[in-house]
Amino acid sequence: MAPRKSRNREPSPPPAPAETDASPQVEPTPPVQVLYCSVCSYPPEYCEFGEHLTRCKQWLHEAHPDLYEKYYSDEALQAKIGTLSLQAQEKLEKDTAKKEAKAEAKADAALKKKMASQITIKRIERNKRKYVTTVHGLEAFGVDLKKVAKQLASKFATGSSVTKNPQGQDEIVVQGDVSDEILEMIEDGVGLLKGIPTDNVELVEEKKKKGTE
């Protein structure tokens, strides 16, 4: 561990240059800043292999016209074929187009499903004049249920949590009758509830089961 001992030192060894180089403070090498495509997340040179080439190109054209020229000018397209045969290149382009169409269709279907999914706000009578309000189906709109529960808890100064219903699906349970207020919040797009279509929301009421009518 201690290389200080200088036994058998040669009479006049020339000072090794490496030794003097090692002593000064070495600066860290700064990172290479790689640009990533805001559509597909790849470096733009790889967008051609992704699922959104048309949108990727659109983005690059607007955001970085110089790079667009670099990657998609006629010369660039010629050059990048590289060692690939013309036939293989054609196949690649066809595949990319197919992939893109598939991804688009999938995104469309997902959006349709999302727009069709139902949110249920249910007022449940617990006993006498005590109620809980459950909100079901929000997760289809990509909101974080736990965060929404927190938002509701602080808004109404009441208990609010995410629990599994008997069907095993997550839903938000808020103490108290706040169903109208929650509907209003969705209509106004308050906080995390922004962008949720009001048409998909349904208000229902569940009477106490045990009670005799």
Q: Answer yes or no: are the C-beta atoms of 152 and 176 closer than 8 Å.
A: no
Shortest Å, Cβ 140 to other proteins: 16
Residue from the set 1, 16, 18, 34 that interacts with other proteins by CB under 8 A? 34
For residues 170 to 209, the per-residue mask of contacts with other proteins, x marking binding by CB under 8 A and - elsewhere, is ----------------------------------------
Q: Would you call 151 helix, strand, or coil by DSSP?
A: helix
Sheet holding 119-127, edge to edge: 160-164, 170-175, 130-136, 119-127, 201-206
Residue from the set 13, 14, 28, 142 that interacts with other proteins by CB under 8 A? 28
Q: Does 95 bind other proteins (CB under 8 A)?
A: yes
Q: Does 145 bind other proteins (CB under 8 A)?
A: no
Helix (H) or strand (E) holding 7: none
Encoded tokens for 175: 């103490």
Q: Which of the listed partners (Zn ion, other proteins, none) does 39 bind, with a CB threshold of 5 to 8 Å by partner kind?
A: Zn ion
Q: Does 51 bind Zn ion (CB under 5 A)?
A: no
- How far the first Cα of the chain sits from its last, in Å, is 88
Q: Answer yes or no: are the C-beta atoms of 96 and 49 closer than 8 Å.
A: yes
Residue from the set 39, 40, 186, 201 that interacts with other proteins by CB under 8 A? 40
